[in-house]
Structures are given as structure tokens and as C-alpha cells.
């Protein structure tokens, strides 16, 4: 064989090896979330199989008193954590949505393109800021501030957690919505103005309806982030194991319960199992959010909208 | 391994001047056939893009492929070095032989593409230095000796008539060159891989008249040592440089003959209509 | 239709415009105040003592943060870049690709505490080890995987098809094309992705709580890699800046907890913001360069 033939034979050999290795990496990538799901499932179902609690008890009962032993025999009702999570998420969404929408609309419809090019990256920068920093500012600024205006027993509260999360998800929702609004064709706006509509009418009747798929995706991503956030919430919510009855009282969420107790609960105990079940629930919820996003996208494409 | 490159390779005594590859083979091969295509059909899915094409390509001649857009001339060209393999759903039947061997069964794909080089419509330099662009082919072929590479690069750039303008900027990015320079660099890059055939897919359509002129002159020079098949939109170009011309229309090879005869006395009325500019 | 109708329309329009303006300004002012507070408060306490590499200072945590992120970048690059190459170059349409894409998407939306628990189970419980940096780095690398995979895929997809065609035309195999043409051409974008991933890694906390541990004990004169106090030993517990804030705020025993947390926040903010600014500047430069050609 001459040099060229050798080189070609080697190229073929390397090509085959590389193809196998690269494909293996792709498959491994796909296996990671499946593996995570399997492990969570394996640990999270102990509550039901090993300690014989029912799914209804876990989801709907408010009695949380699992035994920290392998014998079990306690109560594993996570309803207060679940409602706590839902309440905090909803609250943060309600608080952030008006400002997100205003900021997104301001950036795309009112501000000059130059201002938008400056504003949007600046806002996006905030998605990267560590959650503990948000928690720290919540602790040192927000909590004293809330205490000074509301008569609260502990000042750590659902409201404080909601506000911190609202600030955290503001950049996510705003940038996603702004992208969706900016993707609406300019000609649609011009057509609306041409019919004598004002800017507000154009925004309300043309731009927002056209962008609602993208806006919904942004909201869901924000919700997913709020649902999964642990430490920032844990720092300001007060972590009291009660149902969230008032905005001004402490509460707990799925993530705060896990972060507070997982380190202390005995491996293989009922308490531990209960916490793993909560982690499994979080995993399934984030899966559900993805499906929701896909569903919305499919809906928009079916109607012939641009994504 | 079904490698068919027996008369081909780098040898020490060749690395010095001019072209090592087919120089001695030239005399023996002149008049012989580089490509023999018999009853070739090509389908893109259900679309029958080339219909029963048969054609012989002579060694050390320039063969021009002409015809209106979408007639299949580019598709035909890309079949010769199996670039159509990259197109999904593309299926070829019939017989294509390169130096007597079936390109689908008897020739290794990488060896075929090494021996049948290609220059594209748009200049396509890699985002590397000028030197690395030209050295890419030889490196693929296992040459890593810096001195040997430099020699090949210089030789190829000289052959492509760009040594003088590029010799001082070999380490600069090829993307900084003008369009015409980029195209000649791409020809040099193709030459550096030491092919025996060069396929050119409308190589001048993106260039200004002066650059076009340079590439045409280059083609005429290169034909001494290479077999060239060129797709062109420009009938004057075909007339100026080619020995043989093939006229494609709607996927069929309408006429294939000596260029002189084709442009003075075409035997098919459709050819006459096309070359006199009545359509296309 | 009459004049008063138009007047009402116009009035509504200006009211709404004012509202949007107010909402946007309020949000922006709040965010600026947030940064201002963290930086102002933090820099007040950023003294030489605070920056020292000792029990009192944050130097060790700072070092742990950088070292841990560095390790996770290596791990996730090893997994994520080939996965991106697979998606961009090797994958055919089919179930496997759908599956891989879905996996990337799922991973990117998993709460970091869930990934942290997975890391805890696999790298701590199942290996019967103490909290250690390696476990933390592996866990964080899982969180970085989707970003690196999609950045690599996008980087390869934005390359002109002509790079592939001309490489094949010169007789290159697919792997040679990927290795010698496509990856070098995509390198700046992949680099940008790595910097972005690093920026996120600095801020990670929930995934490290149960993996990297919340203590650190480094002796800067101990260079025996197997010693638990050697700075470079990845098998030692290693509290990062983020974990330090968390530990200080919840189990504050130290007198200057507040000052330390403020200083940590400021350092983190500087790290994160500067890395994402660098990444942004790089991709801006790349786009400009690509657009110029």
C-alpha cells in the first residue's frame, strides 16, 4: 500500500470509530434524564411500597409527621408543601406579570430599537444572578421593609417569598415575551395603524393576540423556574410546616422542605422516603411544564402562526 | 480494500517540480477515456432528474456542460464524484465508470473524491489561513512534513496563478481575499489534493469579468495535465475554452459533440435554438 | 363617529402608553437598585481580611467556586460537545433524535435541587463517600450539559454548507470534516457557550448542598494531592461562595455573618455579570464578523 491508500484506510477506520463514539455520546445524553427519573422513581416510591401510604394521603393530606426510622408508621401528607409551592408560584406570577408585560411591550412597541437593544440584554443578565443573592437581598432589605409597613408576627412570609420569586422570574418572562412580540410582522402593525387604530388598540387587538403562544411559553418557563427554586425561597419564607393561610405568615414549599430536611433525615427512613417522593413530584411537574409548552407550540403552529 | 489508485501517489523524485501525478501518464493516456457513463438515470425521490444519459469524457480535454437552469447539468456533474450521495433520497441507476472502474462498486469513495476534485460555484474557502486551506487535502492524505507541505502549497498556488499575490500572506485568513482570489485559492486547494480530474460547477458565475478571464486562462493551462469538466451558464465561455460540449435539457442529454461542431452546425434543432439564444 | 370618540380613543392610548412606560421604568429601576445595593453593600466589606485565604476570609470559598466550575466545565464539555456534534452532524431523522432533543429540553428545565438530589444519591450515597468537590462538579456538569449541547449544535448548524461540501469534495471523511473544518470553525461559538455555562455554574447552590458539602478546610502549604486539605484535591469537602451565603444566613454563628454574605454576593455578582458580558461581547463579535463576509 502506498501512503494515500494507507491514509484512506485510516480515515475510514477513524470515521467508523468516531461515528460509534459520537452516537454513544448522544445516547448517553438521552439517558441522563431517564436515569434521573428512574432513580427518583426508585427512591420516591418507597413511601407507597415500603411504608404503605396511599397516593391520596401524600397528595391531599395535611398531616406531615413521618417517622425518622426504617419502621415508618408516621403520617406522610405533603399537601401543605404542595399548596405552599403552588401559592408561592401563583403569587409571584401575579406580582410579576403586569410588570413583565409592561416592560416587554415598552421594549418592543414604545421604546426605540436602540433602547431595546440595550434594555433586553441588560434584563437577560439578571437570569444568571445566583438565587442565593436574591435570597440575601430579600433577607436584608425586603424582610425589614415588609415588617415596617405590615404588622407581621415573623416578617418571614409567603408574601416575601412571592416578591423574591417575582423578581427572579421577571427577566425570563419579559425577554421571552419581548421576543414573541418582536416576531409579529411589522406589516400587521402597519395594517392596523392604516385602519385608524391607535397604538394601544394595535397592541391589544393585533400584536398581543399574535404573540400569545410565545408569551404563554415565557410564563410557563417562569413558573417552572419559580416551582424549582429552593434556596432563595427558603431564606425568606420562614419554613414553618403549616398550610399557607395568610400572605403574611410563614409557610413551606416542596423545595424548602427538601433543602431543609434531606441532610438530616436518616437514609432509608420514612422521612427520607417522603422527601424523595416530593423530589419525584418536582421532576414530574417539570416534565408536565415541558409538555404544556409543546402543546402550546403545536396549537400555534396548527393555526399557522409563526413560532 | 477496493482501492484503485495504482498509478497514483506521492513519490520523492516527484516532489520537486511541476506536476508529479499524471505527467508521465499523460502521453499514454491521451485519447483514453476518463469517464464512461452509460444509461445513467437519477431520481430525487419520485422526480426523474436525469434520463438515460450516456457520455464519454476524454482524458485531458475540457468538456463543457451547458443548458438552461434546472436541466440537470449540475446534478450530472455532482454524480461524477458522488457528491449526490449526500443528498437524501437521491438514487442513481446505470453505469458510471472512472478509469474503467465502476465508481459505486469498484472505487473507494474517499479515493474517488481525492482523484476527482471539485470547484464550486461560490468560492468556498475554509475559515483558515491561506496555507492551511491549500494544505488541507495533502494533510488528509497523511502528509504532515512541514517542508513537503510547503512545497505542495507553493506548487499548487503557482499552478493556480496566485502565488505571487499570496506568497507574502500565507498565514492570513483566506476569508480576507477578494472573490476572484478566493476562487483561484479554491482551485489551488483542489490541485493540492492531486486529482486527475477537476469538476467545475459554474466557477465564474459569481465573479467579475477580469477574474473570470483569469480562471478561463487557468482552465486552458490546466488541461495539459488534468481532465476538466465544467458546467457553465455562459455559452461564450463554453465556446472559448472547451473541446467538447454537452447540451442538457429537462434532464436529457440532447447533444454531445465537439464544441466547434456544436456551435457551428448543431445536429439537433433544440441545441440550435438554445445556443442562438432563443430560450434559456 | 364624532370628535369625542376620537378624543376618548386618544386619551385611552396615552393612558396605556404611560402605564407601560411606568411599569417598564419601575422594573428597570428596581433591578438597578438591586444591583446597586448588592455591589454597594458588598464593596463596603470587601476588605483585605475578607479577601484573604484563611478561616476569616472568603478566599478559600472563592477558590473552591472557580475550581469546581472549572471541573464541571471539563466534564460537561466531554459529554455535551459530542452530543451536540451528534445532533448537528450524525443524527438522522428518527426516534433517537427526538429522544435526545427531548432529553436536552428536560434536563434544561429540571430544578437544580432535583439534579442535586440525583448527584447526592449517585455520587455520595452509592459511592459511600463524604461530601466532596468531585461529586459537586459532576452534578453541576449535568446542569450545564443541555446548554453546551445546544450551543454546539447551533454553532455547527450555522456554518455554511459549503464547508462540508468542499471538505468532502477534497476526499475527506465525515469525521475528518467535523474534526478539521467544522469544529475549528465553530470553536468561537462553543467557547462562548462554555463561558455562559461557567457564569451559570458560579451561581449554582441547590445542586451543591448535598454534594460538595458546606465546609472547607484548605491548607495552602499542603500540596499532597491525597491529603484532605490540599487545595487541588477534588475529593475534599468544598464550600463555594453560594453555599457560604446559604450557610451564613441560616445557621449564622459568626458575628460578621452579614458582612461576609454581602461580600460573597458582591463577588458572585461580579463573576456572573462579567462572564455573561464576555460571552455577549464574543457572540456580538462573531456575528459581526460573519455578517461582514
DSSP symbols for B60-101:
T-EEEEE-STTSSHHHHHHHHTTGGGGSTTEEEEEEEEETTE
Co-location of A120 and A257 in the same domain: yes
Say what the pLDDT of residue B28 is. 43
Q: B120 near B198, Cβ under 8 Å?
A: no
Q: Kindly state whether residue A56 falls inside one of the protein's structural domains.
A: no
Which H/E stretch holds residue B118? strand B116-119
Residues 269-298, chain A, touching C (beta carbon < 8 A) = 276, 279, 282-283, 286-287, 289-290
Q: Is B2 on the interface with A (CB under 8 A)?
A: no
pLDDT band at C291 (very low <50, low <70, confident <90, very high): low
Q: Is A16 on the interface with B (CB under 8 A)?
A: no
A9 CB neighbours in chain B (<8 A) are: 1, 3
> How are beta strands B101-102 and B90-98 bridged, if at all?
antiparallel
Co-location of A284 and A140 in the same domain: yes
Q: Compute φ and ψ for A238, nearest 5 degrees.
A: 95, -20
Per-position DSSP letters for A72-132, written without gaps between them: --SEE--HHHHHHHHHHHHHHHHHHHHHHHHHHHIIIIIS-HHHHHHHHHHHHHGGGS-HH
- Among the partner residues C165, C170, C185, nearest to B136 by beta-carbon distance: C170
Co-location of A245 and A133 in the same domain: yes
Co-location of A223 and A286 in the same domain: yes
Interface mutation vs chain B, best among A8, A11, A16, most B CBs within 10 Å: A8
Cβ of B141 within 8 Å of Cβ of C172? The answer is: no
Q: B186 near B162, Cβ under 8 Å?
A: no
Q: Kindly state whether residue A64 falls inside one of the protein's structural domains.
A: no
One pLDDT digit (tens) per residue for chain B, 280 residues: 343 333 333 333 333 333 344 434 444 445 688 999 999 999 998 999 999 999 999 999 999 999 998 889 999 999 999 999 888 889 999 999 999 999 999 999 999 999 999 999 999 999 999 999 999 999 999 999 999 999 999 999 999 988 999 999 999 999 999 999 999 999 999 999 999 999 999 999 888 899 899 899 999 999 999 999 999 988 899 999 999 999 999 999 999 999 999 999 999 999 988 888 766 5
Co-location of A1 and A141 in the same domain: no
Per the structure block, which three cell numbers stand in for A267?
Answer: 437514609
Q: Would you tell me how many other CB atoms lie within 10 Å of the CB of residue C183? A: 18
Q: Is A132 on the interface with C (CB under 8 A)?
A: yes
Distance CA C237, CA B4 (A): 61
Cβ of C163 within 8 Å of Cβ of B126? The answer is: yes
Co-location of A281 and A152 in the same domain: yes
ipTM: 0.89
Q: How far is CA B148 from the centre of its chain?
A: 25
Distance from CA of C52 to the nearest CA of B (A): 45
Distance CA C38, CA C200 (A): 18
Distance from CA of B12 to the nearest CA of A (A): 12
Task: Choose between C253 and C35: higher pLDDT.
Answer: C35
Residues 113-142, chain B, touching A (beta carbon < 8 A) = 114, 140-142
| Residue C9, pLDDT above cutoff 60 | yes
Co-location of A103 and A211 in the same domain: yes
In chain C, where are the structural domains located? 46-292
Co-location of A143 and A272 in the same domain: yes
Say what the pLDDT of residue B168 is. 94
Torsion of CA B161, B163, B166, B172, to 10 degrees: 110
Q: ∠ CA(C135), CA(C139), CA(C142), 5° rounding?
A: 145
Q: Is A14 on the interface with B (CB under 8 A)?
A: no
Say what the pLDDT of residue B7 is. 36
Residues 6+ apart with CB under 8 A from A235: A132, A135, A136, A138, A139, A164, C246, C249, C250
Q: A254 near A81, Cβ under 8 Å?
A: yes
Q: Is B4 on the interface with A (CB under 8 A)?
A: no
Q: How far is CA B16 from CA A148, B117, B139, B146, B195, in A?
A: 89, 22, 18, 15, 17
Per the structure block, which three cell numbers stand in for B181?
Answer: 482570489
Interface mutation vs chain A, best among C12, C15, C19, C27, most A CBs within 10 Å: C27
What CATH number does the domain located at C46-292 have? Answer: 1.10.3720.10
Distance from CA of B113 to the nearest CA of C (A): 4
Distance from CA of B185 to the nearest CA of C (A): 12
Closest Cα in chain A to C244: A132
Distance CA C56, CA C39 (A): 21
Distance CA A154, CA A163 (A): 16
Distance CA B167, CA B174 (A): 12
Distance CA C217, CA B159 (A): 67
All residue ranges of chain A with pLDDT < 70 are 1, 302-307
Cβ of B128 within 8 Å of Cβ of C170? The answer is: no
pLDDT band at C1 (very low <50, low <70, confident <90, very high): low
Cβ of C171 within 8 Å of Cβ of B126? The answer is: no
Distance CA A159, CA A236 (A): 9
C160 CB neighbours in chain B (<8 A) are: 124
Q: What is the DSSP-derived secondary structure letter of residue A68?
A: S
Cα dihedral B185, B186, B191, B194 sign: positive
Co-location of A202 and A277 in the same domain: yes
Distance CA A174, CA A118 (A): 14
pLDDT digits over C225-257, tens only? 888 888 888 888 888 999 988 888 766 566 678
Q: Edge-to-edge, what's the strand order for the sheet holding B244-249?
A: B101-102, B90-98, B33-44, B47-58, B252-258, B244-249, B62-66, B227-231, B197-201, B116-119
Cβ of A26 within 8 Å of Cβ of C80? The answer is: no
Cα end-to-end span (Å), chain B = 45
Q: C134 near C235, Cβ under 8 Å?
A: yes
Closest Cα in chain C to B123: C162
Q: Would you tell me how many other CB atoms lie within 10 Å of the CB of residue A36? A: 24
Q: ∠ CA(C272), CA(C276), CA(C281), 5° rounding?
A: 150
Q: A270 near A40, Cβ under 8 Å?
A: no
Nearest to A123 by CA among A160, A167, A182: A167
Q: Kindly state whether residue A57 falls inside one of the protein's structural domains.
A: no
Per-position DSSP letters for C233-249, written without gaps between them: -TTS----HHHHHHHHH
Q: Is B96 on the interface with C (CB under 8 A)?
A: no
Q: Is C180 on the interface with B (CB under 8 A)?
A: yes
Say what the pLDDT of residue B279 is. 67
Q: C181 near B140, Cβ under 8 Å?
A: no
Which H/E stretch holds residue B248? strand B244-249
Q: Is B12 on the interface with A (CB under 8 A)?
A: no
Say what the pLDDT of residue B2 is. 40
Closest Cα in chain C to A278: C114
Q: Is C86 on the interface with B (CB under 8 A)?
A: no
Q: Tell me the average pLDDT across C271-278.
A: 90
Say what the pLDDT of residue C97 is. 86
Q: Compute φ and ψ for B227, nearest 5 degrees.
A: -95, 130
Cβ of C206 within 8 Å of Cβ of A231? The answer is: yes
pLDDT digits over C212-226, tens only? 888 888 888 878 888
Cα dihedral A228, A229, A230, A235 sign: negative
Cα dihedral A231, A235, A240, A243 sign: negative
The single residue listed with the C-alpha cell 494507507 is A6
Per the structure block, which three cell numbers stand in for A174?
Answer: 419579559
Please state, for a pLDDT cut of 70, what percent of chain A lies above it. 97
Q: Is A13 on the interface with B (CB under 8 A)?
A: no
Closest Cα in chain A to C83: A26
Q: Name the average pLDDT for chain C.
A: 88
Residue span of the structural domain in which A27 resides: 1-44
Q: Is A174 on the interface with C (CB under 8 A)?
A: yes
Q: Is B97 on the interface with C (CB under 8 A)?
A: no
Cβ of A235 within 8 Å of Cβ of C249? The answer is: yes
pLDDT digits over C61-86, tens only? 999 999 999 999 999 999 999 999 99
Write the CATH number for A244: 1.10.3720.10
> How are beta strands B227-231 and B197-201 bridged, if at all?
parallel
Co-location of A9 and A122 in the same domain: no
Q: ∠ CA(A107), CA(A109), CA(A111), 5° rounding?
A: 50
Distance from CA of A192 to the nearest CA of C (A): 14
pLDDT band at C260 (very low <50, low <70, confident <90, very high): confident
Q: C103 near A30, Cβ under 8 Å?
A: yes
Distance from CA of C98 to the nearest CA of B (A): 19
Total tally of structural domains belonging to chain A: 2
Say what the pLDDT of residue A70 is. 81
Q: Compute φ and ψ for A192, nearest 5 degrees.
A: -65, -45
Cβ of B9 within 8 Å of Cβ of A2? The answer is: yes
Distance from CA of A8 to the nearest CA of B (A): 7
Distance CA C20, CA C10 (A): 15
Per the structure block, which three cell numbers stand in for A33?
Answer: 434524564
Q: Is B87 on the interface with C (CB under 8 A)?
A: no
| Residue C292, pLDDT above cutoff 80 | no
Q: Kindly state whether residue A181 falls inside one of the protein's structural domains.
A: yes
pTM: 0.87
B111 CB neighbours in chain C (<8 A) are: 171
Interface mutation vs chain A, best among C86, C198, C241, C266, most A CBs within 10 Å: C86
The set of chains that have 3 or more CB pairs under 8 A with A is B, C
Q: Would you tell me how many other CB atoms lie within 10 Å of the CB of residue B95? A: 15
Amino acid at each position: 500500500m502506498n501512503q494515500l491508500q494507507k491514509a484512506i484506510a485510516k480515515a475510514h477506520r477513524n470515521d467508523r470509530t468516531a461515528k460509534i463514539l459520537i452516537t454513544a455520546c448522544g445516547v448517553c445524553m438521552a439517558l441522563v434524564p431517564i436515569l434521573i427519573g428512574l432513580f427518583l422513581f426508585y427512591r420516591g416510591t418507597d413511601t407507597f411500597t415500603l411504608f404503605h401510604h396511599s397516593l391520596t394521603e401524600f397528595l391531599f393530606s395535611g398531616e406531615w409527621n413521618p417517622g425518622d426510622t426504617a419502621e415508618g408508621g408516621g403520617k406522610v401528607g405533603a399537601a401543605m408543601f404542595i399548596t405552599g409551592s403552588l401559592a408561592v408560584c401563583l403569587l409571584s406570577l401575579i406580582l410579576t406579570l403586569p410588570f413583565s408585560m409592561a416592560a416587554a411591550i415598552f421594549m418592543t412597541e414604545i421604546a426605540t430599537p436602540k433602547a431595546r437593544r440595550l434594555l433586553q440584554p441588560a434584563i437577560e443578565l439578571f437570569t444568571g444572578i445566583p438565587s442565593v443573592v436574591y435570597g440575601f437581598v430579600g433577607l436584608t432589605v425586603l424582610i425589614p421593609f415588609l415588617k415596617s409597613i405590615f404588622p407581621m408576627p415573623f416578617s418571614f412570609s409567603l408574601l416575601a417569598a412571592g416578591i423574591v420569586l417575582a423578581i427572579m422570574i421577571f427577566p425570563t418572562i419579559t425577554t421571552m415575551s419581548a421576543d414573541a412580540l418582536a416576531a409579529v410582522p411589522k406589516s400587521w402593525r402597519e395594517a392596523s395603524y392604516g385602519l385608524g387604530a391607535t397604538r394601544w388598540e394595535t397592541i391589544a387587538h393585533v400584536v398581543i393576540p399574535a404573540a400569545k403562544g410565545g408569551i404563554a411559553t415565557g410564563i410557563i418557563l417562569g413558573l417552572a423556574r419559580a416551582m424549582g427554586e429552593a434556596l432563595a425561597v427558603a431564606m425568606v419564607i420562614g419554613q414553618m410546616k403549616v398550610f399557607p393561610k395568610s400572605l403574611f405568615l410563614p409557610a413551606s414549599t416542596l423545595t424548602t422542605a427538601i433543602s431543609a430536611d434531606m441532610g438530616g433525615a436518616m437514609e432509608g427512613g420514612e422521612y427520607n422516603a417522603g422527601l424523595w417522593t416530593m423530589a419525584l413530584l418536582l421532576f414530574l411537574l417539570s416534565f408536565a411544564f415541558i409538555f404544556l409548552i409543546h402543546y402550546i407550540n403545536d396549537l400555534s403552529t396548527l393555526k399557522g402562526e409563526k413560532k | 480494500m477496493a482501492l484503485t489508485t495504482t498509478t497514483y501517489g506521492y513519490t520523492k523524485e516527484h516532489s520537486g517540480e511541476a506536476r508529479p501525478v499524471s505527467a508521465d501518464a499523460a502521453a499514454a493516456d491521451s485519447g483514453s477515456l476518463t469517464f464512461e457513463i452509460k444509461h445513467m438515470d437519477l431520481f430525487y425521490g419520485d422526480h426523474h432528474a436525469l434520463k438515460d444519459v450516456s457520455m464519454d469524457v476524454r482524458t485531458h480535454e475540457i468538456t463543457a456542460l451547458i443548458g438552461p437552469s434546472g436541466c440537470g447539468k449540475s446534478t450530472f456533474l455532482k454524480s461524477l464524484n458522488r457528491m449526490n450521495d449526500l443528498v437524501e433520497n437521491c438514487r442513481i441507476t446505470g453505469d458510471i465508470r472512472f478509469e474503467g472502474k465502476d465508481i459505486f462498486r469498484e472505487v473507494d469513495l474517499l479515493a474517488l473524491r481525492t482523484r476527482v476534485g471539485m470547484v464550486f460555484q461560490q468560492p468556498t474557502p475554509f475559515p483558515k489561513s491561506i496555507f492551511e486551506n491549500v494544505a488541507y487535502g495533502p494533510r488528509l492524505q497523511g502528509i504532515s512534513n512541514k517542508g513537503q507541505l510547503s512545497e505542495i502549497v507553493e506548487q499548487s498556488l503557482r499552478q493556480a496563478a496566485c502565488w505571487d499575490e499570496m506568497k507574502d500572506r500565507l498565514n492570513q485568513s483566506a476569508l480576507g481575499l477578494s472573490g476572484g482570489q478566493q476562487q483561484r485559492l479554491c482551485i489551488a486547494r483542489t490541485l493540492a489534493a492531486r486529482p486527475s480530474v477537476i469538476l467545475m460547477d459554474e466557477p465564474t458565475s459569481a465573479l467579475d469579468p477580469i477574474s473570470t478571464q483569469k480562471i478561463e486562462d487557468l482552465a486552458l493551462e490546466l488541461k495539459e495535465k488534468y481532465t476538466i469538466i465544467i458546467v457553465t451558464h455562459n455559452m461564450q465561455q463554453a465556446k472559448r475554452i472547451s473541446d467538447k460540449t454537452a447540451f442538457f435539457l429537462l434532464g436529457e442529454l440532447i447533444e454531445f459533440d465537439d464544441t466547434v461542431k456544436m456551435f457551428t452546425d448543431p445536429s439537433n434543432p433544440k441545441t440550435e435554438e438554445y445556443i442562438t439564444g432563443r430560450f434559456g | 363617529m364624532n370628535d369625542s370618540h376620537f378624543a376618548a380613543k386618544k386619551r385611552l392610548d396615552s393612558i396605556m402608553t404611560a402605564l407601560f412606560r411606568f411599569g417598564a421604568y419601575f422594573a428597570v429601576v428596581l433591578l438597578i437598585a438591586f444591583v446597586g445595593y448588592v455591589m454597594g453593600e458588598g464593596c463596603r466589606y470587601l476588605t483585605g481580611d475578607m479577601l484573604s485565604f484563611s478561616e476569616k476570609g472568603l478566599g478559600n470559598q472563592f477558590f473552591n467556586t472557580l475550581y469546581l466550575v472549572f471541573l464541571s466545565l471539563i466534564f460537561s464539555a466531554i459529554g455535551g460537545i459530542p452530543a451536540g456534534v451528534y445532533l448537528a452532524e450524525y443524527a438522522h431523522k428518527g426516534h433517537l433524535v427526538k429522544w435526545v432533543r427531548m432529553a436536552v429540553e428536560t434536563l434544561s428545565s429540571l430544578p437544580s435541587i432535583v439534579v442535586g438530589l440525583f448527584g447526592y444519591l449517585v455520587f455520595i450515597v452509592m459511592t459511600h463517600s463524604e461530601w466532596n468537590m468531585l461529586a459537586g462538579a459532576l452534578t453541576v456538569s449535568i446542569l450545564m450539559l443541555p446548554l453546551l449541547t445546544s450551543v454546539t449544535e447551533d454553532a455547527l448548524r450555522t456554518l455554511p454548507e459549503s464547508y462540508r461540501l468542499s471538505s468532502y469534495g477534497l476526499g475527506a471523511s465525515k469525521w475528518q470534516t467535523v474534526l478539521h473544518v467544522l469544529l475549528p470553525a465553530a470553536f468561537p461559538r462553543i467557547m462562548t457557550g462554555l463561558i455562559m455555562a461557567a457564569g451559570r455554574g458560579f451561581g449554582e447552590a441547590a445542586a451543591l448542598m448535598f454534594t460538595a458539602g458546606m465546609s472547607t478546610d484548605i491548607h495552602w502549604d499542603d500540596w499532597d494531592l491525597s491529603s484532605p486539605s490540599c487545595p487541588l484535591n477534588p475529593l475534599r469537602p468544598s464550600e463555594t461562595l453560594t453555599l457560604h451565603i446559604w450557610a451564613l444566613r441560616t445557621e449564622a454563628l459568626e458575628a460578621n455573618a452579614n458582612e461576609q454574605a454581602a461580600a460573597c454576593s458582591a463577588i458572585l455578582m461580579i463573576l456572573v455579570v462579567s462572564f455573561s458580558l464576555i460571552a455577549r461581547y464574543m457572540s456580538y463579535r462573531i456575528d459581526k464578523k460573519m455578517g461582514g463576509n
